[in-house]
Amino acid sequence: MKIIAPIAGIGSRLRPFTLSKPKAFIKVAGKTVLDHILDKFTNTFDPDTELILVVGYKKRQIMEYIKENYCDKFLLSFVEQIPRGYKDNVPYYWGLGEAVYLANERFEKKEIKTKEEDKRDGCLIFLSDMISIDEYSYLMYRYYDTDVDGIITVMEVPEEDASSYGVVVVDDNNLIQKLVEKPKEFVSNLAIAGGLYVFSNEATFALFNHLKRYLDQRTEGSGEVYMTESLQDLVNDGFKIAAVVHKQGIVDFGRPSELLKGNRFLLETHSVKREDFQSLNITVEKSYLKNPVFIGKNTKITNSVIGPFISIGDDSYIENCILENSVIESRAHLNNIISKNSIIGSDVKVDNISKDNLIIGDKSIY
């Protein structure tokens, strides 16, 4: 099975942080969002699994980082998604549908003899701003151990929120009968969410064919090409695609408010321990830490109250601060700051602010 990772987009909802890095490179609880996702995959997939990254925005940064950190954990391939234009010097792309289709060049048609082989030679697609709380092994078990051609992860949402999502209608066996993008009238509370799709070999090639058809029909005035129509085409073709409900939910890092929620969740299992301070060169003087917190290596905290739910990146200096429920990235220098519910980028220097809900981008001085 090959893993497809569309990671070309600019992450406009996470600006200003994505001005200097890809959206999946924001650090929470000591790791980038992409690290949190890929580390879970290493528990489920063998090192000979091909990881196909569809890159675009900040492609060199992504490629160098992945090669340095994952060359021994996956077989790495990179496919470029070309910008379709620029607006205010910012590139835009033809969407998730095109990104997934571009991975087709890494797949070869071959004779499939058994259902098991068909499943093994398929693909897994994940979105780089969502982390499943469930172990991926549980989701893959649903795919391999039942008579389906694919799975799409979904979550239950309140009826009044269903119109904000793409939703699925399922039968008694949770097989998808219909997919509707942001329905005006309520049809289902099962929202396509969790960012995980798995398809057999035959279903994968059928998906590529449907995506190509929509891409060929596109004009310069069209919007992005989404997946929903092509997924409905798979269902209409007779493929058995099951909706798998996340038992424990997902963590969505696609916007600032969700990033803070994700940080809270990850800190429950990734907090730093006091016994690790010496090995990580962490100095805490005249300060009070309220767990859970994460503190990066080579960081010094003085005369401060930190936590709960604080992530602090490497090489930071925090003095005379009271901070709660916030993400602070690497090499931040904060002095006399009182804040909560804030996101502060890398290489930032901030003095003398008492304000909640701060959004401060990388390399800023206040």
Do 135 and 276 lie in one domain? The reply is: no
Question: What is the model's pTM?
Answer: 0.87
Mean per-residue pLDDT, 305-313: 94
Query: Is 264 part of any domain?
Result: no
Same domain, 187 and 311: no
pLDDT at 200 over 90: yes
Q: Is 262 a member of any domain?
A: no
Q: Are residues 70 and 168 in the same domain?
A: yes
Confidence class for position 249, pLDDT limits 50, 70, 90: low
Tokens of 266: 């990850």
pLDDT in tens, 17-74: 777 788 888 888 888 888 988 988 887 788 999 999 999 888 899 999 999 999 999 9
Please compute the mean of the pLDDT values over residues 127-148 and round it to a whole number.
Answer: 79
State the pLDDT at residue 183.
84
Q: Tell me if 265 is assigned to some domain.
A: no
From 257, 283, 315, the end of a domain falls on 257
Other C-beta atoms lying within 10 Å of the C-beta of residue 347: 17
Domain of residue 293, CATH code:
2.160.10.10
pLDDT at 89: 73
Residue 224 inside a domain? The answer is yes
Report the candidate in 260, 253, 276 with the shortest Cα–Cα distance to residue 310: 260
SS3 assignment for 290-320: CCCEEECCCCEEECCEECCCEEECCCCEEEC
Residue 194, pLDDT score? 64
pLDDT surpasses 80 at 333:
yes
Tokens 């090409």 locate to 225
- Answer yes or no: is pLDDT of 293 > 80: yes
197 in a structural domain: yes
Tens-place pLDDT, residues 72-120: 999 999 999 888 877 777 777 778 899 999 999 999 888 888 989 999 9
Q: Which of 257, 292, 318 is the last residue of a domain?
A: 257
* 224 and 288 co-located in one domain: no
Mean pLDDT of the chain: 88
What does the pLDDT read at residue 258?
79
User: Domain check: are 243 and 286 in the same one?
Assistant: no
Question: Does some domain include residue 366?
Answer: no
Same domain, 158 and 303: no
Residue at token pair 């008579």: 147
Our count of domains for the chain comes to 2
- The model's pLDDT over 272-285, given as tens digits with 9 standing for 90+, comes to 888 889 999 999 99
Residue 271 has what pLDDT? 78
Pair 82, 164 in one domain: yes
| Residue 365, in any domain of the structure | no
Q: What is the CATH number of the domain that holds 194?
A: 3.90.550.10
Supply the range of the domain harboring residue 278: 271-360
Is residue 155 located within the same domain as residue 283?
Answer: no
Give domain status of residue 82, yes or no: yes
Top pLDDT among 233 and 9 is at: 233
Is residue 338 domain-shared with residue 237, that is, in the same domain? no
Q: Are residues 340 and 314 in the same domain?
A: yes
Q: What's the pLDDT at 101?
A: 95
Same domain as 301, residue 251: no
Per residue in 224-233, pLDDT (tens digit) is: 778 889 999 9
Question: How would residue 292 be classed by pLDDT, with cut points 50, 70 and 90?
Answer: very high
- End of a domain among 233, 257, 281? 257
Task: Indicate whether 324 and 187 sit together in one domain.
Answer: no
